[in-house]
Chain A
Amino acid sequence: MKEGSFVRIEEHPILTFPKDRRKIEFTFEGKKMVGYEGDTIASALIAQGVKVFSYSHKSKRPRGFFCAVGKCSSCLMMVNGIRNVRTCITPLKDGMDIRRNDEDE
């Protein structure tokens, strides 16, 4: 998937999305990325083209989000060293260190 603002919706017939939102810098697997005020961790990652949030514990299958409302635990990641954070309902904050929840680390 293409990176950057391409995946942010700019024009919509019904909704208006604020244009000049504050930028929030964070890192994903050590790589610098940028999201916006109002993003969750999950929405910021998807906007950057990141779809794989973790690899499953047993078979190491790639996992992404599924419900986006905090009910299915498909989107768990390690945030600032804390495991099993539900990224779809956790607001993005400046300087967050976000990693795939790989048990073998």
Chain B
Amino acid sequence: MNECDILVVGGGPAGISAIRSAKLGADVVLIDDGLKLGGQLIKQTHKFFGSAEQFAGMRGVDIANKLVSELYESGTKVLPGATVLGIYEDGVVNYSKDNVVREIKPKRTIVATGAKEKNLLFENNDLPGVYGAGAVQTLVNVYGIKVGNEVLMIGAGNIGLIVTYQLMQAGIHVQAIIEATDHVGGYDVHARKVKRLGIPIIFKHSIKRVDGYNSVEEAIVVKLDDRFNPIPGTEKKFRVDTVCIAVGLSPLAELLWQAGCEMKYIPELGGYVPVRDEDMRTSREDIFVAGDVAGIEEATSAMLEGTIAGTEAARSLGYPVEDDELEKAKSYLNQLRAGPTGKKIRIGLEKLLGKRHSFETNATIHKPSKSTMPKNKRVPVVECFQEIPCNPCEASCPFDAITIGKDINARPSVDYSKCTGCGICALKCPGLAIFMITEDYSDSESLLEIPYEMLPIPRPGDIADGIDRDGNFVCEVKVLGVIKGKDKTNLVRIIIPKEYADRVRSVRVKEYKNDKIVCRCEDVTEKEIVEAIRRGYTSFDELKRLLRVGMGPCGGKNCREEVLKIIARETGKSVEELEVGTYRPPTKPTPFSAFKNE
């Protein structure tokens, strides 16, 4: 039988960080059952939060590549595509690779198996088309497959928000996000990103059922009362082909149960979690844990826990350890969890470790303060209103103009006297929460620069739609140019009327630019009419019913003749031969009340 000092189960951020033990001299083997190493990171196309020291500001996929190359450099023996099946009393571990089961006897085992998505009970929840949000993210971002066209997202936590945004990036339309509570569970900056795209977050609602022949065709959503019971008669129907479930993760802890580790049910940490000490050692002396399996959290904390577990496992085998590094990881982990968004984790850990912490602030979203920004130069507007563990803005500014300070949960503040207006922070912020503005670009116009990660990318000279923070149209804007960031975040530079400088926060490429408008009241284009005629709608009345052409307040005054000319052209007839269509009163818009009084 093979032997080794330390076996790491799981090749996500936690497992790979545990190979620190190999750097301390231990003989380490890592087993992972994914098709690719990197765990959850391989499907994360967004830039991560956290501390810049800990890869924040980098995209998950890029962090995965970096970690994996470190793994191979460390001298660890890696067994990818292998599944650990069991950990026994005597420490023997068996695993299967290529359909063959083998055994290995490590002195220490670090379990870093991550988590699985939670299920949700509603009628017909097994119908194809109902998928885990992470599953859809895998198919879209790893395999490049569009799983559907119209999606309903269930859950407004970080996963629901992030996956929604990523689906929109892939050209898949999300109709709405349904959330059972009355607030966004994820970060405010993520919620703002999806709101700017015009996706509504519907609070105090849940999904009731899905229907369809062989796969989802519609979803029924219902309002909830204050005790989360559905209110009859409030059902709403969504025509969608996909429903994504994003209601949380639970630790993947079978191996720990099997191994006889003591487990405790702690909802704040995602369900049953292993009882462990601050060194990440479980009730079994030879088994350590790290990452989501020890409590659902984030990649940054998973990496830190991996480092701690790896180091302590090596120390317990007598390898010399420098305490500084370890203390740094531990204190950093505490800092991360110290903010308002870490409250749930802290409560969970208190229950687990039997300790009390003192701070109990809630994750409030602060009001924007009246700004004192200079108007005559290019400066950043930072719309980051919640205390979250994140600092790439501070770390990226070459002129020390942004301060977060020692507490990584503090909000950024800008010293405009130091700021040179270079725009680096706006390209770096993972929340896309920093906009560059030159308010007095001219007497009547401002120049706004918007972080942008969608397709199509607006082109210089384009007239585009200026969109507000909630996804509503504000005004037309002129695209001056696009600054392409190294990591694919772009800054779209737009000219807007000054009065809208504080309202426009997003830009949308016009779908129907350069169209010839036949009916002004209903925005019907020549192209639409020609297409309809070719599909067989060849009279004015038919086109009117189909496209609403001529149904607007003008009563068809402006368009009837134009439409008839197009029909004539397309059908090879003359205008005189065509039916002119029925005329209906009134000939000018008249309120109903005017008739009643007659």
Contact = CB atoms under 8 A, between A and B. Distances in A.
Interface of A: 1, 6-9, 11-15, 17, 38-40, 42-43, 46-47, 51-53, 56, 61-72, 74, 88-89, 91
A66 B131 contact: yes
Nearest to B46: A14
Contacts of B146: 6-9
Nearest to A53: B128
Contacts of A42: 139
B128 A62 contact: yes
Given A65-B135, A66-B135, A68-B132, A1 B241 contact: yes
A9 B140 contact: yes
A53 B129 CA distance: 11
Nearest to A62: B214
Contacts of A63: 126, 128
A70 B32 CA distance: 12
Given A15-B45, A69-B34, 8 more contacts: A1-B149, A7-B145, A40-B143, A43-B145, A47-B145, A66-B130, A69-B135, A69-B138
11 contacts: A6-B146, A13-B454, A14-B488, A61-B126, A62-B128, A62-B215, A66-B131, A67-B134, A68-B134, A69-B116, A72-B132
B1 interface: no
Contacts of A91: 35
8 A-B pairs with least C-beta separation: A64-B128, A68-B135, A17-B144, A43-B143, A51-B128, A51-B215, A68-B138, A7-B146
A47 B139 CA distance: 10
Interface of B: 33-35, 45, 59, 61, 116-117, 126-132, 134-136, 138-141, 143-149, 169-171, 214-215, 241, 252, 453-455, 457, 488
A65 to B, nearest CB: 6
B116 A71 contact: yes
Given A64-B128, A67-B135, A12 B214 contact: no
A9 B145 contact: yes
Given A62-B127, A64-B131, A89-B35, A39 B143 contact: yes
B252 A71 contact: yes
Contacts of B148: 1
Contacts of B134: 67-69
B214 A51 contact: yes
B453 A9 contact: no
A7 B35 CA distance: 22
Contacts of B457: 13
Contacts of A43: 139, 143, 145
A52 B215 contact: yes
A9 B169 CA distance: 10
A61 to B, nearest CB: 6
A84 to B, nearest CB: 13
A63 B129 CA distance: 9
B417 to A, nearest CB: 35
Given A69-B34, A91-B35, A15 B126 contact: no
Given A67-B116, A67-B117, A71-B116, A12 B169 contact: yes
A11 B45 contact: no
Contacts of A52: 128, 214-215
Contacts of B139: 42-43, 46, 68
Contacts of A47: 145
Contact of B141 (A1, A15, A51): A15
A79 B239 CA distance: 34
A88 B116 CA distance: 15
Contacts of B34: 69-70, 89
Contacts of A71: 116, 252
A9 B144 contact: yes
Contacts of A61: 126-127
Contacts of B252: 71
Contact of A72 (B33, B116, B215): B116
Contacts of B130: 66
Given A46-B145, A46-B147, A12 B455 contact: yes
Most chain A beta carbons < 10 A, residue from B33, B143, B169, B453: B143
Contacts of A12: 144, 169-170, 455
Contacts of B455: 11-13
A68 B141 CA distance: 12
Contacts of A15: 45, 61, 141, 144
Nearest to B113: A71
A17 to B, nearest CB: 4
Nearest to B141: A15
Contacts of B141: 15
A13 B126 contact: no
Contacts of A17: 144
Contact of A13 (B33, B128, B144, B169): B169
A38 B136 CA distance: 17
A14 B45 contact: yes
A35 B132 CA distance: 23
Most chain B beta carbons < 10 A, residue from A9, A70, A72: A9
A2 B132 CA distance: 22
A67 B215 CA distance: 16
A40 B446 CA distance: 50
B300 to A, nearest CB: 21
Contacts of A6: 146
Contacts of A40: 35, 143
Given A14-B453, A64-B129, A8 B169 contact: no
A66 B144 contact: no
A69 B136 CA distance: 10
Contact of A67 (B129, B132, B144, B149): B132
Contacts of A74: 126
Most chain B beta carbons < 10 A, residue from A6, A66, A72: A66
A16 to B, nearest CB: 9
Contact of A70 (B33, B61, B488): B33
Nearest to A6: B146
Contacts of B170: 9, 12
Given A9-B170, A13-B488, A66-B132, A38 B215 contact: no
